[in-house]
Structure 1
Amino acid sequence: MDIGEVSKRTNLPASTLRYYEEKGLIASNGRNGLKRTYKSSVIQKLALITLGRNAGLSLDEIKDMLLPDGLKIDRAVLLNKADELDSRIAALTAMRDGLRHAAACQAPQHLECPKFLRILNIAGRRWGRPSRRRKP
């Protein structure tokens, strides 16, 4: 398949495919004129890369798990990422619940609502903390 077909089938821009190739995540098997060509197995590898990226893994973490003929899953990395996701889910759930409460609160002023004040207090304690996001 040429790069255009892979791009179309995976919904990834050709620039991303070239970048993944540059990073060593995928490999072309040659060229057809000026266009790179790939084996059909690249589709599955790109699906794995997309899954890893959606889970928050860095490209380096994903690369370490990809072998030319399969996968070498690092269970510790996956468990750590699952723990990070659990923390983010808990924080997002609390934020969602706070927004729902603020939208439905019957207090004349939100600053008179004890629950809203608790939410503000929690948010204030988190100021100045560095982001836990990893660089790609």
Structure 2
Amino acid sequence: MDISEVARRAGLPSSTVRFYANKGLITAINAAGERRRFTPEVLDQLALIALGRAGGLSLDEIAAMLPADGAPRVDRRRLLEKADEIDAMVKRLKAMSQGLRHAAQCPAPSHMQCPKFRQLLKAAAAGKLKPPAAAPAQAIQRLSAGPDRPASGAHGD
């Protein structure tokens, strides 16, 4: 398949397919100077890349799991670490959501008189309410938007 067909079938821009090839995540089978051609297995490799990106893995982490022979070598320990990171992020986001809802509906005359709001302020001052990292947020956006695409034209990590 040529690059345009791979891009079409994978739902990616050709520039993303080229970027992944240049980064070594996928391999073209053409001779030097020819138009890039790929085996049908590249679609599975692109799906694995999309899955890794959706899970918040960096392209370097994904590359380590996709050696040149095309047989994925999944780092189970890293996947468990990433799952733990996502669980912690979900917990922080859930607490933040509940705090914001409370602040929006709090019957106290002033938010500064609300004990729960004061707890939120204290947690924020201690750095416990940090926003989620960009990669997982982008992964959430990709999951809701469709196929893996680099954010706003940026391809790398």
TM-score scaled by length of structure 2: 0.74
Q: CA deviation at 1:108?
A: 2.2
Larger radius of gyration: 1
Q: CA deviation at 1:43?
A: 0.9
Q: Counterpart in 2 of 1:41?
A: 41
Distance 1:42 1:82 in 2: 26
Q: Deviations over 1:39-68 (max 9, x none)?
A: 111111101001111111111111111132
**One-letter identity of the residue aligned with 1:109:** S
Q: Deviations over 1:71-121 (max 9, x none)?
A: 111111111111111111111111111111122222222222111111111
Helix, strand or coil at the partner of 1:71: coil
- Relative contact order (C-alpha < 8 Å, sep 6+): which is higher? 2
Structure 1 runs (4+) deviating above 3 angstroms are 131-135
Q: Deviations over 1:2-44 (max 9, x none)?
A: 212221222221111111111110011227x964221111111
Q: CA deviation at 1:69?
A: 3.6
Distance 1:83 1:39 in 2: 35
Distance 2:126 2:88 in 1: 17
Alignment pair present for 1:2 and 2:2 = yes
- Name structure 2 gaps, 5 residues minimum: 136-155
Q: Counterpart in 1 of 2:91?
A: 90
**One-letter identity of the residue aligned with 1:63:** A
User: Greater strand percent: which structure?
Assistant: 1
Q: Counterpart in 2 of 1:72?
A: 73
**One-letter identity of the residue aligned with 1:81:** K
Alignment pair present for 1:118 and 2:123 = no
TM-score scaled by length of structure 1: 0.85
Q: Counterpart in 2 of 1:13?
A: 13
Distance 1:34 1:17 in 2: 16
Q: Which moved more, 1:8-17 or 1:40-49?
A: 8-17
Q: CA RMSD in A?
A: 2.4
Q: Counterpart in 2 of 1:26?
A: 26
